[in-house]
Each structure stands twice: as C-alpha cells, then as structure tokens.
C-alpha cells in the first residue's frame, strides 16, 4: 500500500494565453491528510487542483495519485478516486434533477442500476439531502446546491476529495454546516480556499500558493499564527487596520 496520496514533481503550467499559471510545484500529500491550499486570487489554486485528476496536464511533469501516474491509461481509475468539487455548483449540477446528477458518475462507471441507486441514496444521506432526488437542481438554495455537488462525487467513493472554495458565497450558518459535513468525511482532502475559519477547523497542514509558487508549507498553527506571512500574501488584514475580530470580542467581553 502506497502511503502517499499525491506526489507532484516540478509541475509547471501556462494558460492558453501564455500567462504563467504554475511555476515548478513540488508537493507531497500523505493519505488521510487534510491540506489547505490558500493564496490570493489568481495564485493558481484552482489550476493546481485541476491537475490532480488529469483535466489539465501541465508540462507533462510527473504527478502520481495513489501510486498511479496520471496518464491516459490510468485516467479513469484516477477520476474515480479523486472527487473534484468545483467552485460554482451550477457547473457541477448539469442534469435536470438531483438524482441524475448524483448518479452521473456511477452510471459512467458502468455500475448496474441497483448499485447506482444504492450509491445515490448513500451519497445524499451523507450530505443530509435525502428525499431531494426528484428536485430540480436549479431550484435548490446555494447551500443545498453545494451539498448536492459534494454528493455527486461521494457517490463514487473517492479516496481523495479536491474542493475548490467549498464555502464561498455561503452564509455563516451554511458555512459551518458545510465544515461539519466535510469533517465527518474520512478521506484525504485538498481544499483550496480563502476562508481561514474553514482552514483552521478542517486542516492540519497549510500550503500557501502565490503567483504559481509554493511560498510556505507547514502545520496549520504555524502558518495561521504567522500574521506577517499571511499579510505578505494578501491573506490577512493589512498592518495598521483594526483586527476584524477585535470589535466583536470586545462586545462579547462587555
């Protein structure tokens, strides 16, 4: 059994217009780890995620997922094992109802019908959306859409979850419910986010990405405790401005 979930070696990528996306990324993620990928807008977080299941291939650098090199031969297996959740659930939910969306992966994998239905049921149960099978995806609330989007990959029993901004555009209640949900899923997670609450609650390791480079990689307390580092990469409030939480905590004390 290979203990490494993901190994990336010298990965570079340029966007179709020639702009540099990733510049020589080296990253190893162990099985069972929860890694946060943080960085300012345009740092290359989403681009890096898209390499994990071979949607983008970069410079042909060696990426190994669960011991399998990402190439045409392994692509099917890798896509089953890496559950990719996109930022906008509107992109992930393209079928006419929830059932068809969650069943899309299992059906493509050629499972028989009873197995497909069992997987859909289980996946929806895991995200707390049972009973929504016949609803149309368009009419769900944004929080419900995010949950169903996660169910669409859980139905494949992935060993790695790659999530792009899972809490963006959620209200605080929806956000914390989603954090709890993700915490309950015992798989390797790679989460691209700006949401430091989410990172602090969910991840044990943080990688900061800026301008296509990994600029820091360490334990969550170390990195989130280093305000200077966060400031340098546009992830915390600028020096001299009031700490966003301070007024709230002074209210709480009074």
Partner 1 sequence: MHRLDPRTKLLGSLAFVLAVVLTPPGNWRLFAVYLCVIAGLVLLSRLPLKHVLKRSLVIFPFVVMIAVFVPFFKQGQEAAGYDIGAWHIAVTYEGLAVLINVVVKSWLCILCLIILSSSTKFELLLQGMYKLKVPQVFVQITSFMYRYMFVIADQAMRMQMARDSRNFGMNRSNIFKTMGNMVGMLFIRSYERAERIYAAMLSRGYSGEIIEIAKLKFQLPDAYFALILSLLLVCPAILWW
Q: Note whether 154 binds partner 1 by CB under 8 A.
A: no
Binding segment (CB under 8 A) for partner 1, from list 4-12, 73-81, 165-173, 239-247: 73-81
CB of 148 to partner 1, least distance (A): 13
Q: Note whether 47 binds partner 1 by CB under 8 A.
A: no
d(CA 210, CA 89) in angstroms, rounded, equals 25
Enumerate residues 8-27 that contact partner 1 by CB under 8 A. none
Q: Which parts of 31-152 are beta strand (E)? A: 34-38, 63-65, 68-69, 82-85
Q: Note whether 156 binds partner 1 by CB under 8 A.
A: yes
d(CA 44, CA 58) in angstroms, rounded, equals 12
Neighbours of 154 (CB within 10 A): 24
- Which element (helix H / strand E) includes 214? strand 213-219
Number of residues near partner 1 (by CB under 8 A)? 33
d(CA 175, CA 185) in angstroms, rounded, equals 16
Considering the complex, state which of residue 87 and residue 193 has its C-beta at the smaller distance from partner 1.
87
d(CA 96, CA 89) in angstroms, rounded, equals 14
- Fill in the per-residue mask, 230 to 249: x = in contact with partner 1 (CB under 8 A), - = not in contact: --------------------
Beta bridge partners of 218: 206
CB of 53 to partner 1, least distance (A): 6
d(CA 123, CA 193) in angstroms, rounded, equals 23
Beta bridge partners of 28: 7
Enumerate residues 76-105 that contact partner 1 by CB under 8 A. 76, 79-80, 82-84, 86, 88, 90-92, 94-97, 100, 103-105
Residues that bind partner 1 (CB under 8 A): 50, 53, 55, 76, 79-80, 82-84, 86, 88, 90-92, 94-97, 100, 103-105, 107-110, 113, 116, 137-138, 152-153, 156
């Amino acid at each position: 059994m290979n203990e490494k979930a993901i190994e990336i070696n010298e990965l570079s990528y340029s966007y179709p217009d020639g702009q540099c996306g990733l510049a020589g990324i080296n990253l190893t993620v162990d099985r069972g780890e929860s890694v946060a990928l943080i960085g300012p807008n345009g740092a290359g977080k989403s681009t890096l995620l898209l390499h994990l299941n071979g949607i983008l291939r970069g410079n042909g650098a060696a990426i190994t997922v669960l011991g399998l090199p990402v190439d045409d031969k392994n692509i099917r297996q890798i896509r089953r094992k890496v559950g990719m959740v996109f930022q906008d659930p509107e992109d992930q939910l393209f079928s006419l109802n929830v059932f068809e969306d969650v069943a899309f992966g299992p059906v493509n994998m050629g499972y028989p019908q009873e197995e497909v239905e069992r997987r859909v049921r289980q996946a929806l149960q895991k995200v707390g959306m049972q009973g929504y099978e016949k609803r149309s995806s368009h009419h769900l609330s944004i929080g419900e859409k995010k949950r169903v989007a996660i169910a669409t990959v859980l139905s494949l029993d992935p060993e790695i979850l790659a999530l792009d901004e899972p809490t963006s555009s959620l209200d605080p209640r929806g956000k914390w419910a989603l954090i709890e949900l993700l915490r309950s899923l015992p798989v390797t997670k790679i989460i691209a986010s700006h949401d430091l609450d989410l990172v602090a609650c969910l991840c044990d390791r943080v990688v900061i990405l800026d301008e296509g480079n990994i600029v820091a990689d360490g334990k969550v307390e170390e990195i989130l405790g280093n305000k200077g580092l966060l400031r340098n990469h546009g992830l915390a409030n600028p020096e001299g401005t009031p700490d966003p939480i301070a007024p709230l905590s002074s209210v709480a004390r009074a």
